[in-house]
A and B are shown apart, each in its own frame.
Chain A
Amino acid sequence: MSEYKMPKLGADMEDAILIEWKVKEGDRVQKGDIIAEIETVKGDIDVEVFEDGIMEKIIAQPGERLPVGTVLAYINSNGKTTPEEDPVEVPPIEEPAPTKIPEEVPPKKEPILPPKPTEIPPIEEPPTIIPSPGVPEEEIPDIPAIPEEVPFTEEPVEQPSPEEFPPMEEPEIPPLPKEMPPRIIPLPTEPYRPTFRHNASPLARKIAKDLGIDLAQVKGTGEGGIIHKIDVERFANSVDNKEDSRPTIKEKPKVAKDRKVKMRTAIAAAMSRSNQEIPHYYLETAIDMQKAMNWLQTENEQRPVQKRLLAAVLLLKASALALQKVPELNGYWEDNRLNIQEGIHIGFAISLRGGGLVIPAIHDVNKKSIDELMNNLTDVSERARMGKLRSSELTDGTITITNIGDRGVAKVFGVIYPPQVAIIGFGKIIEKPWAENGMLGIRPILTATLAADHRATDGRIGAKFLSTLNKLLQTPSEL
């Protein structure tokens, strides 16, 4: 069993309010599932789980403000239902905790079995229970991921009754004499259990909706914890009575007003720390974007409007490929040493309307096609502005790009977002006189900069990165 703690979504986060659990105790979760929503200064974030397992116990209650590292829940990571195991000792999360997040396992690392639908484990085996606790863990075969489409995996699947129809008999029927074949199929005594996320009656749901009550907060007193009308009413009364004692979740205009201030404070803290702790060095280079722009124009002429590409996506992809060649810039400064990261997850700074910025990471940029990246970029920008990012997007960034060119400035020297060790800056692509091979011409020029952590790398590495980037942008069709 492992602890699920309040994640640290960036160096500037100290606490968050738990808004709602998206799962309940007993639910099976898979790595990457969104299990809760929290409210941070960067907006409401869907937090993911980092391992497969079963929600063993939920500790934190919605509405609480919880410091980073607070245990929110226990997850039974090997799916056994015995809670006897001691919780694994997890060292308290220190500042640079985000790096501890397990790397994304791309689907291709799944067992080599072809994922034919027929390979899905038979429903009779409830996915929540691995039989025979005596089997050593090593021998437990990997359970192939259960596709989300398979219905009813949230609940232990009932043993199918011997007949297709639910039994009709009332339990009072006396047993038939033994010698007769059992023509009456005995009824399973399983009570009816709804399979909805909240076990609540329709009436309870309606009342909860009318009163603006989040059913996740209501404790059901019905059979198997089903929430009935009376439970919602009791809850409503108890909330009325202590209205002021605790912020109720549904009303958060005050929090929203505070958020701008808090985000400013958070940015201030992170950037101050960066400038105090990190000895930055700065490099810049001018890149001839003629070929890239030509390629982009030709490409976009063939594309429908929705599919058109922005120059930013070329810069994103080129940066990732350059980092592949110069990995020293893709990592974290932790425990006085550089930890180079394998996955290239580029944080893309997005400024928010009304102030502040967030840096959601786009995962594995080097492995994605231009089109995928364009979709990612659009998607993440929209969600960032709606305050709907996923936790991994805030924690997984291994380097940052600040592309402030669209605001009209020629160049930008960034401030590194700790514990990262570099930030790439792109200015506006501007037409300039350009001399090449003894000839003068007018070219669209991009000023690319790099601010890097001198503890981790030296100028030579930074220079290698920028020149590789330049080279890559000269063959845009290969990006």
Chain B
Amino acid sequence: MKITYREAIRESIREAMQEDEKVFLMGEDVGHYGGCFAVSKDLLAEFGAERIRDTPLSESAFVGIGIGAAMNGMKPIVEVMTVNFSLLAADQIMNNAATILHMSGGLFNVPVVIRMATGGGKQLAAQHSHSLEGWYAHIPGLKVLTPATLEDARGMLISALKDPDPVLIFENSTLYNHQGELSEDAGAVDIFKAKIRRQGKDISLVTYGIGYHKCVAAAEILAAEGIDAEILDLRVLRPLDDATILETVKKTGRVLIVDEGWKSGGISAEISSRIMEKGFFDLDMPVARLGGAEVPMPYAEHLERIAVPQVETIVAKVKEMI
């Protein structure tokens, strides 16, 4: 079945809502407008305004409502337009969603699913384009998912809805139009493991989300030049799957982490640090990172382009390392 990333998520939402009447979607413009990125197009007609709820422009309010609904037995899918806007709801996410199970002595789970778009590449400038998933990966009590493939776009939402605790799903906005084959019976996927999606022996490209696709393109170029790159799709930024990361480190001894986020205090720093702590003697050279330029995301197209890793920068960096 040929399908886009956007459609895969929509199908997943639709299926979940058909199966379980406790599932509902809410967020800014998810109803009549069909979602800012058109993910929820047509769902209002199918499920009605009770279950596809347009909300006021107050992230703090509607994320909080989602958390409250989840605590009261519902299965809300809360859509936050971009990760930058999620900062308005950061208090709800951090101080409520992530902590209530702990603070209630294990009495209240918060099975909320919060989806948001992340990343640049659409000329949406410095207030809509950042990759802050690494920030949320900092917080105990949350699961942070970054689906890169159609299979994960569809399957991760299913698994997230089954999870008793808060799950954040970061959808890179440039992936929505990504089209490919997805088997008809694609269903739930695990939300704990990283995945080695391309086997290689010379270097490990550790990445997630849009970075995965750039690494695939880079690996093909490199393969033509005799460099055999392995690609690890992290999939889950919290909890990080140390075992699989260390497995690929052990195999190749060389690691390049590719991530659109800023390197300072970022998820790439965390991964690099874990490799150093647990895989030091498997390293044949220092762990290298490609991250976003440490500037607010530029608006100008050519500047935005060079502010994040691209296929050619990945290729160049790998060649430098080998």
Contacts and interface: CB of A to CB of B under 8 A. Distances in A.
Contacts of A205: 281
Interface stretch (A163-171, A250-258, A288-296, A394-402): A163-171
B262 A168 contact: yes
Given A172-B313, A173-B306, A203 B282 contact: yes
Given A169-B293, A170-B306, A222-B285, 17 more contacts: A168-B262, A168-B264, A170-B309, A172-B313, A173-B306, A174-B306, A201-B253, A201-B284, A201-B285, A202-B282, A202-B283, A204-B284, A205-B281, A226-B285, A228-B284, A229-B253, A229-B284
Contacts of A325: none
Nearest to A222: B285
A174 B307 CA distance: 10
A3 B263 CA distance: 49
A12 B256 CA distance: 57
Contacts of B263: 168
B293 A203 contact: no
Interface string B293-319: 111000000010010010001000000
Task: Specify the main secondary structure of chain B where it touches its partner.
Answer: loop
Interface in A176-223: 184, 192, 201-206, 222
The interface centre, meaning the residue of B264, B291, B293, B303 with most chain A CB atoms within 10 A of its CB, is B293
A438 B282 CA distance: 84
A172 B294 contact: no
Nearest to B253: A203
A209 to B, nearest CB: 9
Interface of A: 165, 168-170, 172-174, 184, 192, 201-206, 222, 226, 228-229
Interface in B173-204: none
Contacts of A229: 253, 284
A205 to B, nearest CB: 7
13 contacts: A165-B264, A169-B293, A172-B313, A173-B293, A201-B284, A202-B280, A202-B281, A203-B283, A204-B284, A206-B281, A228-B284, A228-B285, A229-B284
Most chain-B CB neighbours within 10 Å: which of A184, A202, A205?
A: A202
Contacts of A165: 264
Interface string B266-284: 0000000000000011111
B286 interface: yes
B283 A201 contact: yes
A116 B253 CA distance: 45
B93 interface: no
Nearest to B276: A202
Nearest to A209: B281
A169 B283 contact: no
Contacts of A172: 306, 313
Nearest to B291: A168
Contacts of A184: 295
A201 B293 CA distance: 28
B281 A170 contact: no
Contacts of B295: 184
Nearest to A184: B295
A222 B294 CA distance: 29
User: Which has the most chain A C-beta neighbours within 10 Å: B264, B280, B282, B285?
Assistant: B285
A217 B284 CA distance: 18
Contacts of B253: 201, 203, 229
Contacts of A174: 303, 306
Contacts of A228: 284-285
B104 to A, nearest CB: 41
Contacts of A169: 293-294
A203 B293 CA distance: 31
Contacts of B283: 201-203
